[in-house]
Amino acid sequence: MTTIAVVGAGPGLGAAAARRFGAEGHSVALISRSRERLAILATGLRAEGLTADGYAADVRDREALTGALDQAAQELGPIEVLVYSPLPHKEFLRPVLETTVDDLVGAVEFSIYGPVTAARHVLKGMRSLGRGSILFVNGGSGVRPNPKVAGTSIAFAGESAYAQMLHDTLTGEGIQVGQLIVPGAIQPGHPTHDPAILADKLWHLHTHPEKFRIFAEE
């Protein structure tokens, strides 16, 4: 059994992605900062018949993040799918004229250093498997900079560029790199932004390697 590692796992999209990929036979590694929330989420998924466990790590702590990924692979099986979808901190969401260099440090650690760390760490294992997917989830500012949320706009631009370069470079190796853009809030029951609908889009990216970027809504 191979594993989907959901970095930034929570009760919304993270849980929905876990259920979608778990239903296809993957074990589920949930990674976020809160051990307590991870335990609740993992317990719920196991009650639904999935193989799941939680691994606490802050994406801005590279050693903790790689350690969590290693532990997940050892305990649950090699990582075939990485979903990087942590929710940006509120301090990254300031208007451009109020955004300082210090504000950008955190945003860059969160949305560039974190995904680069995670992607590079799982890539060797995916190459050994001969297959895999690295899937990035970003807000609308990932493709259209928004001066109201300057920190994420700047950092998401870097993450988007990195993801696109990975996609282009790894084409032909059996490793898919894709990006899901979700403008606005994820909302249960919403016709396009419901977590289960978005999880289906992640599955589509995983199974359609010719695609790089898809949107929650056209």
For residues 55-67, give the mean pLDDT: 97
Q: Is residue 73 part of a domain?
A: yes
Band (90; pLDDT cuts 50, 70, 90): confident
Amino acid at 209: P
Q: Is residue 51 part of a domain?
A: no
Tens digit of each residue's pLDDT (9 = 90 or more) over 27-50: 999 999 999 999 999 999 999 999
Tens digit of each residue's pLDDT (9 = 90 or more) over 16-29: 999 999 999 999 99
Which residue did the predictor score with more confidence, 16 or 90?
16
Give the per-residue pLDDT at 135.
98
For residues 51-65, give the mean pLDDT: 97
DSSP string, 99-155: --HHHHHHHHIIIIIHHHHHHHHHHHHHHHHT-EEEEEEEEGGGTS--GGGHHHHHH
CB–CB of 182/198 below 8 Å? yes
Q: Where are the alpha helices (DSSP H) in 6-113?
A: 13-22, 35-47, 62-76, 101-108
* Whole-angstrom distance, CA of residue 74 vs CA of residue 202: 24
Cα→Cα distances 54→37, 62, 68, 170, 172, Å: 9, 17, 9, 29, 32
Q: Is residue 64 part of a domain?
A: yes
Q: How many structural domains comprise the chain?
A: 1
Q: Where are the alpha helices (DSSP H) in 171-194?
A: none
Give the per-residue pLDDT at 102.
87
Mean pLDDT rounded to a whole number for the chain: 95
| Nearest CA among 149, 59, 64 for reference residue 109 | 59
Q: Is residue 144 part of a domain?
A: yes
Percentages of the chain per state (helix, strand, coil), in multiples of 5: 50, 20, 30
List the domain range (segments joined by +) for residue 162: 58-215
Cα→Cα distances 195→82, 178, 186, 188, 198, Å: 17, 18, 7, 6, 5
* Whole-angstrom distance, CA of residue 88 vs CA of residue 11: 16
Q: Answer yes or no: is pLDDT of 89 > 90.
A: no
Tens digit of each residue's pLDDT (9 = 90 or more) over 107-125: 999 999 999 999 999 999 9
Q: Is residue 4 part of a domain?
A: no
Tens digit of each residue's pLDDT (9 = 90 or more) over 188-216: 999 999 999 999 999 999 999 888 999 99
> Which residues, 6 or more positions from 33, have their beta carbon under 8 angstroms from its beta carbon?
56, 57, 58
- CATH number for the domain spanning 79: value is 3.40.50.720
Q: Is residue 100 part of a domain?
A: yes
Give the per-residue pLDDT at 92.
76
Percentage with pLDDT > 90 across the chain: 92
Q: Tell me the CB-side half-sphere exposure of residue 93, using CA atoms within 13 A.
A: 6
Q: Is residue 35 part of a domain?
A: no
Amino acid at 27: S
* Whole-angstrom distance, CA of residue 68 vs CA of residue 149: 30
Q: Is residue 76 part of a domain?
A: yes
Q: Token match 């004229």: residue?
A: 97
Whole-prediction pTM value? 0.96
